């Protein structure tokens, strides 16, 4: 019986060695999965990132309702991504953006346009009677909007201190198009909503110009 003791010891020791091997293999596999899984799947905390809250067309003047903040892992977060909504509000979106798309510095045009973050304001597109005046304007500039004199109507100021939100590219001809009635580049003006409505309605009936401040 004594000669059977070493065999019994080996049999008792084998399960413990197998268990250690399985544990080591499990730890190795777990480490490999952790290494190759994306940070989002590993539960890594995300960095605050500003994304579009909905589909946005190009040249959108961004407001608070167009933006939201989500946490994105650093391995999927694009370089130059915006972290604070305030740094994007009042700026123009260079190209169209899908809902949930991170907004980077190259997608935003210039600095924030003053006076455009007010939820009570609206942006109205107009064309000025003299295309040359439009070429003098730059985003952020303040102007007074003037309706031209018509038969039985004197020239009048429709809005004061309107903010130029964007200036469109000039037409190739640079003059009035007889087919479309285009007077010059499209101009986007940021105004209080009630005044913006009046300016938009008047632009359908009378020629408009602006005085520079």
The predicted pLDDT at position 45 comes to 65
Asked if residue 56 belongs to a domain, the reply is: yes
**Could you tell me if residue 164 is inside a domain?**
yes
**159 part of a folded domain:** yes
Confidence of residue 176 (pLDDT cuts 50, 70, 90): very low
Over residues 197-206, mean pLDDT: 90
- Return the higher-pLDDT residue of 64 and 51: 51
Give 134-137's long-range contacts (Cβ < 8 A, gap of 24+): 134/167, 134/170, 134/184, 134/185, 134/187, 135/167, 135/170, 135/185, 136/212, 137/164, 137/167, 137/187, 137/210, 137/212
Same domain, 55 and 132: no
Residue 101 in domain:
yes
pLDDT, residue 141, reads 85
197's tokens: 């409505």
For the chain, what is the domain count? 2
**Is pLDDT at 9 greater than 70 in this prediction?**
no
Residue range(s) defining the domain that contains residue 144: 121-212
Locus of tokens 């455009």: 116
Residue 64 placed within a domain: yes
Among residues 124, 64, 70, the alpha carbon closest in space to that of 88 is found at 64
Domain annotation covers residue 165? yes
Whether 177 is covered by a domain: the verdict is: yes
Beta strands in the chain (DSSP E): 47-52, 67-72, 92-93, 108-109, 121-127, 142-147, 156-167, 186-192, 208-212
Best-predicted range by mean pLDDT (16-20, 38-42, 68-72, 181-185)? 68-72
The helix or strand, by DSSP H or E, that contains position 28, with its residue range, turns out to be: helix 5-36
Q: Specify whether 100 is located in the same domain as 156.
A: no
- Indicate whether 86 and 153 sit together in one domain: no
Does 177 share its domain with 148? Answer: yes
Q: Which of 73, 89, 109 marks a domain boundary? A: 109
Q: Which residue has the higher pLDDT, 209 or 3?
A: 209
Strand order, beta sheet including 142-147: 121-127, 186-192, 156-167, 142-147, 208-212
Predicted pLDDT of residue 113: 65
Closest by Cα among 82, 78, 75 to 40? 75
Tell me the average pLDDT across 63-78.
Answer: 88
Residues ≥6 apart with Cβ < 8 Å to 128: 134, 183, 184, 187, 207, 208, 209, 210
131 and 201 assigned to the same domain: yes
Regarding whether 173 and 103 lie in a shared domain, the answer is no
CA neighbor of 147 nearest in space, from 188, 204, 193: 204
This prediction has a pTM of 0.51
Q: What is the CATH number of the domain that holds 103?
A: 3.90.1210.10
The answer on 127 and 93 residing in a single domain is: no
* Mean pLDDT, range 115-140, rounded to an integer: 80
Q: Please, which pLDDT band fits residue 199 given cuts at 50, 70 and 90?
A: very high
Residues 100 and 134 in one domain: no
Of the ranges 3-7, 85-89, 93-97, 106-110, which one carries the lowest mean pLDDT score? 3-7
Which of 86, 109, 132 marks a domain boundary? 109
Per-residue pLDDT, averaged over 22-41, amounts to: 61
């Amino acid at each position: 019986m004594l000669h059977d003791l070493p065999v019994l010891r080996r049999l008792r020791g084998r399960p413990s060695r197998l268990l250690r091997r399985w544990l080591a293999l499990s730890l190795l596999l777990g480490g490999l999965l952790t290494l190759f899984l994306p940070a989002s799947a590993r539960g890594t905390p995300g960095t605050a990132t500003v994304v579009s809250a909905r589909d946005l067309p190009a040249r959108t003047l961004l407001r608070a309702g167009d933006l939201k903040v989500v946490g994105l892992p650093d391995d999927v977060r694009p370089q130059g991504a915006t972290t604070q909504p305030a740094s994007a509000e009042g700026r123009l979106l260079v190209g169209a953006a899908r809902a949930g798309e991170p907004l980077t510095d190259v997608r935003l045009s210039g600095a924030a346009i003053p006076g455009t973050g007010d939820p009570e304001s609206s942006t109205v597109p107009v064309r000025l009677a003299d295309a040359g005046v439009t070429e003098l304007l730059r985003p952020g500039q303040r102007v007074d909007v003037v309706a031209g004199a018509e038969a039985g109507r004197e020239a009048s100021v429709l809005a004061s201190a309107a903010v130029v939100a964007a200036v469109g590219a000039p037409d190739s001809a640079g003059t009035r198009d007889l087919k479309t009635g285009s007077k010059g580049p499209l101009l986007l003006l940021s105004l209080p909503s009630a005044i913006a409505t009046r300016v938009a309605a008047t632009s359908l009936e009378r020629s408009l110009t602006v005085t520079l401040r």
